[in-house]
Amino acid sequence: MPRSFDLPPGMVAASGHVQFLAQASGAGPRVSTDDVLVAPGDVVDFEIATNLVGSRATVRP
């Protein structure tokens, strides 16, 4: 299900790097992205795959 949200500036490191984390419901396994470099106004598509290992984040300006 697609969802969108804005990251407040305080949640983004001064360098512009963020990392996304997905966890199966409950206390299931987790997966995290590599550091993603973002700038104000960027859109990040974080696709969470059924098999969490296949999840990925891509940045669109």
Q: Are 35 and 29 in contact (CB under 8 A)?
A: no
pLDDT band at 3 (very low <50, low <70, confident <90, very high): confident
pLDDT (average), residues 22-32 = 81
Nearest-angstrom CA–CA distance, 52 and 61 = 25
- Each domain of the chain, given as residue ranges in start order, spans 9-60
Question: Residue 22: pLDDT above 80?
Answer: yes
Which run of H or E residues covers position 35?
A: none
- Residue 1 pLDDT exceeds 80: no
pLDDT interval class at 2 (50, 70, 90): confident
Task: Answer whether residue 8 shows pLDDT above 80.
Answer: yes
* pTM of the complete model: 0.72
